[in-house]
A and B are shown apart, each in its own frame.
Chain A
């Protein structure tokens, strides 16, 4: 039987990380909207018919920023607690129905099939680049 105090700490760490992921998703959406409505200008091409490429690149920039912030959080969490950030495998599967029925099976599927997901992303990127990228 796992120590309830340790489980409580792991749950809090997990909850903080999940909150940060939602916050970063909000920043990603807000950053892109900010670019689209002209609140922030990347340069003169943003106001032309070629703006779609600037916005596509900016979307990937905001995504990369979110990934970077999450990595910084994981690193600081690791150093502070002297252990890796907990995954679902570190916690008993007794959360609410959403976690048990939807979220955790989805996370397990993604962890098991990340190679296939990567291959799908590579294929999608290759096909999109093949047909859409016209420098």
Chain B
């Protein structure tokens, strides 16, 4: 239990708990949502990158910088922490595989199933700012994870 109280384990667990609550709440709120108002296409793109694109890229870089801030010199992580990280990674890749299986089935179904990208487009249409925030948060977390060097410090 002492291991679980360490900040680097606690934060992902809090995020998982938050995700579980939000998933149930979103299902309750949108189970009967009428998708008739969703757009069937996006506005045509031009050569210039959009503000949202730049914001997500900068978030990724900020996440990378966060990985270098204020870490104490770390001792070797405990076995429990390493196994927990591997379990989390395995669960994540399992969810990813399931999501791509569903996306492919839906894309090939010809309309009987809606792909995940359709729902993302629909959510962006109704909650543009929140969608951008989620993408930026995901970019921060990804940048933080990819750029994290154990024991690295800024000073």
Q: Residues on A close to B: CB < 8 A?
A: 41-46, 53-54, 57-58, 60-61, 63-65, 67-68, 71-72, 74-75, 78-79, 82, 84, 114-115, 117-119, 122-123, 126, 130-131, 133-135
Q: Please give me the residue from chain B that is nearest to A118 by CB atom.
A: B146
Contacts of B40 in A (CB 8 A): 135
> Once bound together, how far apart are the Cα atoms of A126 and B56, in whole Å?
10
Contacts of A54 in B (CB 8 A): 104, 107-108
B131 within 8 A of A: no
Q: Please give me the residue from chain B that is nearest to A79 by CB atom.
A: B83
Q: 9 tightest CB-CB pairs across the interface, nearest first? A: A43-B108, A42-B108, A115-B147, A61-B100, A64-B97, A71-B90, A118-B146, A57-B104, A68-B93
Contacts of B107 in A (CB 8 A): 42-43, 45, 53-54, 57
Decide: B108 and A122 in contact? CB cutoff 8 A.
no
Q: Residues on B close to A: CB < 8 A?
A: 40-42, 45, 49-50, 53, 56-57, 60-61, 64, 79, 82-83, 86-87, 89-90, 93-94, 96-97, 99-101, 103-105, 107-110, 117-118, 121, 139, 142-143, 146-147
Contacts of B100 in A (CB 8 A): 57, 60-61, 63-64
Question: Dominant SS at the B interface?
Answer: helix
